[in-house]
Structure 1
Amino acid sequence: MGSTPVTEITERARDVFRLVVESYLNSGTPVGSRTVSKLPGINLSPASIRNVMQDLEELGLLSHPHTSAGRIPTESGLRLFVDGMMQAAEPSAEERAAIEGRIGQGGPIEEALVAATAALSGLSACAGIVLVPKREPVLKQFGFVPLSATQALAVMVGGDGSVENRVVDLPPGVTAAALNEVGNYVSARLAGLTLGEAQARLEKEIKAGEAALDRAAQELVARGLAIWSRDGSRPVLIVRGQANLIDQEAAADLERVRQLLDELEGKEEIARLLERAHAGQGMKIFIGSENKLFALSGSSVIAAPYRGGDGKVVGVVGVIGPTRLNYARVVPMVDFTAQALSRLMT
């Protein structure tokens, strides 16, 4: 979404605009000229401030809600503030300790990621989110249940005891006996391997002529493994602290809150949104309707990628909250959490 470049605004207008935005983000209520005139760092009369605010409104940076005498920043105004005027405040020693303490409690990585979202949620008063790379399952057993002449149900039992089913199309001429043979082959030869390792071994044995399967059976095994390998790469989204999104100001707009909570249920959509931060390799800030997912509720997302031991991005951590959240405080907090998770992964 485009916005007015900060260089095109006079110094006086920048000062007034910054004070209006900061006051609004602190209070969540429209800001009037008299309020701005009493703030430190401004030496203008309320009348002069009103004129400047009117100019800023005409530029699309402020809006005049209802019949209120005060103004609030538009999404374009918030974007201008975040990109060119915000003075970020580093997390305090207490905040850093709280984040690192929750993450470093020991246990599986997944527990640390859940702890990271909870810590972020508590400190930011937003909903904490983390996009977790789904670990590739390890094969324990693999089999087929015939459904028709052209389809079968592929059943995979993972090393962790998980059971997953997929419907697969059968190559022509595959019999129930052949399906049983394929299942026995996979369970005997490929058990204990990840899907990627199983695919690699199957390809190697086929090339070496060591696979005791005919061409149709080989194709069927490869097809079944490919389905799980593709699905297994889908990330998992963890959301914590949704209750933080219902505060006193939000209670006055229950429809917006309901819409936001509905949007949070669509975890697959949020995961796709966060993958933009994953792909971009850096901090991403989505304000309101800049992303279609949260256009109706008017919410913002701040997300930063975290990395594994090889330096590659493996997931994304961040927060979801109202557009009036404290960007100057929350942005560095999300960045610090991403760095802490990266250190944990090394």
Structure 2
Amino acid sequence: MSSPPISELTDRAREIFRLVVEGYLESGQPVGSKTLAHDSGINLSPASIRSVLADLESAGLLAAPHTSAGRMPTESGLRLFVDGMMRVAEPTPEERAAIEGRLSGSGPIEQALEQTSAILSDLSGAAGMVMVPTREARLAQFSLLKLGQGRALAVLVSEDGAVENRVIEIGRGITPSALEQASNYITARLAGRTMAEASRAISREIAAGQTQLDAASRELVERGLAIWSRDAAQRPVLIVRGQANLLDEAALHDIERVRSLIEDLESKQSVAELLETAREAEATRIFIGSENRLFALSGSSVIASPYRDREGRVVGVLGVIGPTRLNYARVIPMVDLTARSLGKLIG
């Protein structure tokens, strides 16, 4: 049964519906007629309120989990509330400072993604999720620095200023001059290409005997590029942090739902495919419960927003996942701000 549009509700029904939803989202518990009569300022008797609640239940907007309990919003009711009644609250100065402060400065992009996922989890009280950017960084500088016997530090600087480090194994007889020759060759010949493009180009040149590198430097070039190519292939498509937040007091009464949700999160590829549907969205997207087949059993909600690079191209999606009683009014603008802050770090 489809729920009625918000315009078809009377002023009295709309106000009581709003109070029930807001009370449920705040406490996670059904809201009863006595609570509404005593605490909401509505000038109606509990009997009159019960009559309105019964009408809202018949319309498919509210449900009573137990015969004697209060009402809580259905998924259709939540959708109606989010789309037509919710008053969005902008992030507080403290929340804004926390997001922008932890997503500032330079460093490996992986570090920024980990921070983003953790920030979303910490501030929302749910699990934070970030899809790894699909666009590869382009090379600006590559250096190999000797660490000691048999090891070197490979340093990659991207055109966007991000710096990544890897320790690689090298032959014990490798000299500093061989490291320098390999570094200069990669930087001079392959700057402006992605790591995948660089690896293909150098492999062709080495196979055709077109390089002026000696054998030791040639091996260093291949080894230095290979470690990033391998990392890219093994890099997770999704970073999830804060699953423990899903095990709150309310969840203990519905442990089967939480178990189902955590199993869903373990299947990161499936969750990434869901987030992918938000890639082309102009604004934050909200998936409530069984609106998406992946979370039909766990009854969870996802708030997701695309994030863009400095040229405005969508390179990934981030968001939070939690129970349907998420604080949508607070979390939606928070997700949007985090997406914009992360985008400033993506070249």
Q: What TM-score, normalized to structure 2?
A: 0.73
Other-structure match for 1:224:
none
Query: 2 CA distance for matches of 1:191 and 1:281?
Result: 36
**Aligned-pair CA distance for 1:3:** 3.7
Letter in 1 for 2:340: Q
Other-structure match for 1:306:
307
Tell whether the 8 Å contact from 1:136 to 1:233 is kept in structure 2 after alignment.
no
Matches within 5 A, 1:57-76: 57-76=57-76
**Aligned-pair CA distance for 1:280:** 2.2
- Could you list the per-position Cα deviations for residues 297-325 of structure 1 after superposition, in whole angstroms to 9, with x for gaps in the alignment? 10000011111011011111110000011
**Aligned-pair CA distance for 1:234:** 9.2
Unaligned runs of 5+ in 1: 140-158, 163-189, 206-210, 213-227
Tell whether the 8 Å contact from 1:121 to 1:241 is kept in structure 2 after alignment.
yes
Unaligned runs of 5+ in 2: 140-155, 157-164, 168-188, 209-228
Query: 2 CA distance for matches of 1:325 and 1:259?
Result: 18
SS of the residue corresponding to residue 274 of structure 1 reads helix
Tell whether the 8 Å contact from 2:126 to 2:245 is kept in structure 1 after alignment.
yes
Q: What TM-score, normalized to structure 1?
A: 0.73
Is it true that 1:97 corresponds to 2:94 in the alignment? no
Other-structure match for 2:113:
113
Letter in 1 for 2:268: K
Tell whether the 8 Å contact from 2:258 to 2:298 is kept in structure 1 after alignment.
yes
Query: 2 CA distance for matches of 1:28 and 1:345?
Result: 37
Structure 2 CA distance for partners of 1:12 and 1:234, relative to 1, 3 Å: farther
Tell whether the 8 Å contact from 1:129 to 1:318 is kept in structure 2 after alignment.
yes
Other-structure match for 2:24:
24
- Could you list the per-position Cα deviations for residues 185-205 of structure 1 after superposition, in whole angstroms to 9, with x for gaps in the alignment? xxxxx9885476469979xx9
Other-structure match for 2:220:
none
Letter in 2 for 1:323: T
Other-structure match for 1:143:
none
Query: Bigger shift: 31-40 or 232-241?
Result: 232-241
Matches within 5 A, 1:138-177: none
Other-structure match for 1:85:
85
Query: 1 CA distance for matches of 2:273 and 2:34?
Result: 44
Letter in 1 for 2:58: E
Is it true that 1:331 corresponds to 2:332 in the alignment? yes
Structure 2 CA distance for partners of 1:2 and 1:18, relative to 1, 3 Å: same
Query: 1 CA distance for matches of 2:271 and 2:104?
Result: 26
Other-structure match for 1:291:
292
Tell whether the 8 Å contact from 1:63 to 1:74 is kept in structure 2 after alignment.
yes
- Could you list the per-position Cα deviations for residues 268-290 of structure 1 after superposition, in whole angstroms to 9, with x for gaps in the alignment? 00000001111224211000000
Tell whether the 8 Å contact from 2:3 to 2:59 is kept in structure 1 after alignment.
no
State the identity %: 62
Is it true that 1:43 corresponds to 2:43 in the alignment? yes
Tell whether the 8 Å contact from 1:135 to 1:232 is kept in structure 2 after alignment.
no
Structure 2 CA distance for partners of 1:341 and 1:3, relative to 1, 3 Å: farther
SS of the residue corresponding to residue 95 of structure 2 reads helix
Tell whether the 8 Å contact from 1:89 to 1:328 is kept in structure 2 after alignment.
yes
Other-structure match for 1:172:
none
CA RMSD of the aligned region, Å?
3.4
Query: 1 CA distance for matches of 2:199 and 2:240?
Result: 33
**Aligned-pair CA distance for 1:134:** 4.2
Other-structure match for 1:219:
none
- Could you list the per-position Cα deviations for residues 51-73 of structure 1 after superposition, in whole angstroms to 9, with x for gaps in the alignment? 00000000000001122330110
Query: 2 CA distance for matches of 1:335 and 1:93?
Result: 15
Other-structure match for 1:131:
131
Query: 2 CA distance for matches of 1:137 and 1:86?
Result: 39
Letter in 1 for 2:111: E
SS of the residue corresponding to residue 338 of structure 2 reads helix
**Aligned-pair CA distance for 1:106:** 3.6
SS of the residue corresponding to residue 43 of structure 2 reads coil
Matches within 5 A, 1:254-265: 254-265=255-266
Query: Bigger shift: 329-338 or 34-43?
Result: 34-43
